[in-house]
Structure 1
Amino acid sequence: MTHITILIKTKYNYRNGRVFTSPARYTFPVSDKGTHIVRLHFHPFTTPNLDLGLAQFHVLLNAHVALSNFTRLLSDATNPSIVEYLIWVDAEKLEIVFVPNKDSRLAFVNAIEVISAPKDLVPDTAQYLSSSKLEKFEGLNKQALEVVYRVTVGGVKVTPFNDSLWRTWVPDDGFFRPSVGSEKLYFGGRINYHVGGASREVGPDNVYNSARLIRSKNDSVPNVNMTWVFPVVGGYKYLVRLHFCDIASISVGLLYFNVYVNGNLAYEDLDLSYVTNSLASPFYADFVVDGGDGALSVGVGPSKSSMPHVIDGILNAVEVMKLNNSRSSLDGEVCADLVMKSWSTRNNTGMLFTLVAAVCIVLSLSIVIRRS
């Protein structure tokens, strides 16, 4: 696996950057075709001659529109914005193009990360779930994906230093609907990764060793559901990845529960020990759903097979990723060709500079390559 990070002087020094006044392209050589992780870091700042907070621009990733008239994450000048994508690359290079908007004529980036992803990170198939059907969704790994949420349930923030793919997992408190009868759990034992299940690259130990759960404390099964709600942009399909690891049961064959996405039944009587054949062994499930009215929900609750005096529901983590639309865009209805043509139309030359030459103001740049 190769991790290439184009950083500004030193890692996460957001007081430097590259600024573009015309379209500019970065080209990264790709030796291993497949899914690649791309992270773009943005943190606007001002100089005597520039105010990057006024920048408006498009970003293209291998002919996918990643960002269109990008300003939506630049309003908070105190915190950097990091946008992450998973892109299928079947050529010998990955291209990232920055195209300034005609009004601001200004684009910038503070850091770029490109990581060759493990083969099992994005599978070819998932389950498409709607109110009327549950069916196979094929070609998932060929879609462009934008990571919208990566949430650890019941635990603390997981930083890039504790994740082999340098990811950040935020706590679920801001998405969880308070539920009487649910509780958090931390597990201090060993996570049992197994072939065919989730790997450490899919989810690190620090994600699977915490959870929220429903526990029966008497002779009845609690009438409790745990629910998480995630605001999203409507008009797109989303990949909802649910992470499970039974770190609470005292024996296999005791935990049964239902799983819901957008209120639709995704799993009935889910038995993690049947899937993993052991306790504390991670498992994940992928569902593709429609964005609908601008919110996605995930629910976990007891099933008809749940039993008293044991655990009757558990969830360890949730990831939500936006899929590109029919125009190969993750941000709007304009395709990559039209973005480039719009610049060429209003400019006589329409030149595209690779790795930026005279058209950009270069403040500082360095490249770090990590291999693991």
Structure 2
Amino acid sequence: MAIRTGTMNFFLKFTLYLYTYLSLVSAFSPPDHYLINCGSADPVATDPYRRIFKGDSVSDHLVSEPLIDPYTTRFLLKTLEPTICENLPVIKEFIVPVDSEKLKITFVPLDNSKFAVVNAIEVISAPRDLVTDLALYVDSEKNEQISGLLKNGLETVHRVNVGGFKVTPFNDSLWRTWVTDDKYLKSSDVPEKILFGGRINYQLGGASREVGPDNVYNTARVIRSSNETIPNTNITWVFEVEKGYRYMIRMHFCDIASVATGMLYLNVYVNDNLAYENLDLSYITNRLLASPFYADFVVDEENSGILTVSVGPSNASLPHAVDAILNGIEVLKINNSMGSFDGEVCTEFVLRSWRRGNAGVLVPLVAVIFLLLIASVFLQRRRNWFGDSVAWSRLRVDVSEVNLKYGNQFSSGKA
């Protein structure tokens, strides 16, 4: 354990110095900031947080392929609208590396569906210190420092404000939502919540407000000993995730509970494995209270679909002191080896398969429409020639040029 602690101390110190190089002293102003109101012809629209979204119908950001069957597509959208409106909005958030001057976002129908839908898109440049390249990989056999996170995409799965209230985008400089932690708590006894009314001491090199806002760092859950006995308990949070992926777990710490530095030591566990022993926040934050810090851990989730995060007293914990603390938790899915967050195929394969599949639908669709047109011509001419007679007549093969053009409207996808 001593070797593990020493290695982790060096890792955390090195990470802190790395943050010092990357951190910005001024307020974050993203160089790229696009807010798109999809499907709108209005120049601008304002959301509840007073942000201005531009309609994609009047911008140059929308590039779409012609619909294969516009009539069927419109009918399905109208059918599903009430169901969508009755449910809460679904927000998907991704952090992706971009190595070109353009970012392309494509939506395709799922499986046999005829449409894909999106209401709004936000594209915002991330601060340089939001994700670093280093993390600690944790499993039952070993803990080791790994690199390469910046080469991967991350999908936000859970973002929790521990011990506090819900943080809305209005109170977050990156417009994120942090939910309360109550439903994730596994502990039999409800751990103590604390609220800090003082100033959060953001340091150059520590966590910035873009990493975590004040409203996350000024609340926490703690384990506290009130006598000579150190509690023999942990605080545990449980998160449901999709099996078969690696996950990055970010834990936010800020000692807003101790009366002096050098009194708080705790153990950190991920999936019941000891991720860090005797974490000394005073050492990490250069002996400054109420100074935020975060640590990133990477785990594999192959079987259970459950991730657990725990903090608790350590062998170095002191009586009459705070023995464990945690302020926030984030769980982010890491894309797999195919660059995907959903399945074992790459994006280009999905797009190619979708185009091939819809090309197969187009041919019989046009054939059916063409046959219906021929049948309608036959019936009309039959009425003209024979009135109400039921005698059989041979079908003429000379379909008019007007009807051919009408049929081509369907085959070309034009309304």
Same fold (TM over 0.5): yes
Q: Among the aligned pairs, what percent are the same residue?
A: 57
Does 2:75 match 1:49? yes
How far apart are residue 340 of structure 1 and its match? 1.3
Q: Are residues 344 and 156 of structure 1, via their aligned partners in 2, closer, same or farther at CA, if it must alter by over 3 Å?
A: same
Corresponding residue number in structure 1 for 2:15: none
Structure 1, residues 104-147: CA drift from partner, whole Å, max 9, x if none?
21011100000000000010111111111111221101111100
Does 2:34 match 1:4? yes
Contact (CA 8 Å) 2:187, 2:234: kept in 1 or not? no
Contact (CA 8 Å) 1:258, 1:301: kept in 2 or not? yes
Question: Which structure 2 residue ranges, 5 or more long, are not aligned?
Answer: 1-29, 49-54, 65-72, 362-411
How far apart are residue 78 of structure 1 and its match? 2.3
Corresponding residue number in structure 1 for 2:246: 237
Does 2:341 match 1:330? yes
Q: Secondary structure at 1:314's aligned position in 2?
A: strand
Q: Are residues 86 and 360 of structure 1, via their aligned partners in 2, closer, same or farther at CA, if it must alter by over 3 Å?
A: farther
Corresponding residue number in structure 2 for 1:344: 355
How far apart are residue 341 of structure 1 and its match? 1.4
Q: Structure 2 CA distance, aligned partners of 1:268 and 1:91? A: 42
How far apart are residue 185 of structure 1 and its match? 0.3
Contact (CA 8 Å) 2:184, 2:238: kept in 1 or not? yes
Q: Structure 2 CA distance, aligned partners of 1:174 and 1:3? A: 33
Q: CA RMSD in A?
A: 2.8
How far apart are residue 5 of structure 1 and its match? 0.7
Q: Structure 2 CA distance, aligned partners of 1:359 and 1:275? A: 62
Structure (1 or 2) with the greater strand fraction: 1
Q: Structure 2 CA distance, aligned partners of 1:232 and 1:254? A: 35
Corresponding residue number in structure 2 for 1:286: 296
How far apart are residue 359 of structure 1 and its match? 7.2
Contact (CA 8 Å) 1:18, 1:360: kept in 2 or not? no
Q: Structure 1 CA distance, aligned partners of 2:192 and 2:79? A: 42
2:271 to 262, 272, 278: 262
Structure 1, residues 37-85: CA drift from partner, whole Å, max 9, x if none?
xxxxxxxxxx983436759xxxxxxxxxxxxxxxxxx878321100100
Q: Structure 1 CA distance, aligned partners of 2:178 and 2:414? A: 34
Does 2:187 match 1:178? yes
Q: Which letter maps to 2:355?
A: S
Q: Compute the TM-score of the two structures, normalised by the length of structure 1.
A: 0.78
Corresponding residue number in structure 1 for 2:161: 152
Structure 1 residue ranges, 4+ long, deviating more than 6 angstroms after superposition: 358-361
State how 1:183-332 maps to structure 2 within 5 Å.
183-277=192-286, 278-292=288-302, 293-332=304-343
Structure 1, residues 252-299: CA drift from partner, whole Å, max 9, x if none?
000001000001111100010110020000000000001231000000
2:140 to 100, 119, 131: 131
Q: Structure 1 CA distance, aligned partners of 2:206 and 2:79? A: 44
1:91 to 87, 91, 100: 100
How far apart are residue 182 of structure 1 and its match? 2.6
Structure 1 range deviating more: 227-236 or 101-110: 101-110
Q: Which letter maps to 2:126?
A: A
How far apart are residue 345 of structure 1 and its match? 1.7
Structure 1 range deviating more: 341-350 or 326-335: 341-350
Contact (CA 8 Å) 1:240, 1:319: kept in 2 or not? yes
How far apart are residue 349 of structure 1 and its match? 10
Q: Which letter maps to 1:222?
A: P
Question: Which structure 1 residue ranges, 5 or more long, are not aligned?
Answer: 27-46, 56-73, 351-357, 362-372
Q: Structure 2 CA distance, aligned partners of 1:224 and 1:151? A: 21
Q: Compute the TM-score of the two structures, normalised by the length of structure 2.
A: 0.70
Structure 1 range deviating more: 338-347 or 82-91: 338-347
Structure (1 or 2) with the greater helix fraction: 2
Contact (CA 8 Å) 1:18, 1:110: kept in 2 or not? no
How far apart are residue 360 of structure 1 and its match? 10
Q: Are residues 53 and 333 of structure 1, via their aligned partners in 2, closer, same or farther at CA, if it must alter by over 3 Å?
A: farther
Q: Secondary structure at 1:289's aligned position in 2?
A: strand
Larger Rg: 2
Q: Structure 1 CA distance, aligned partners of 2:413 and 2:291? A: 53
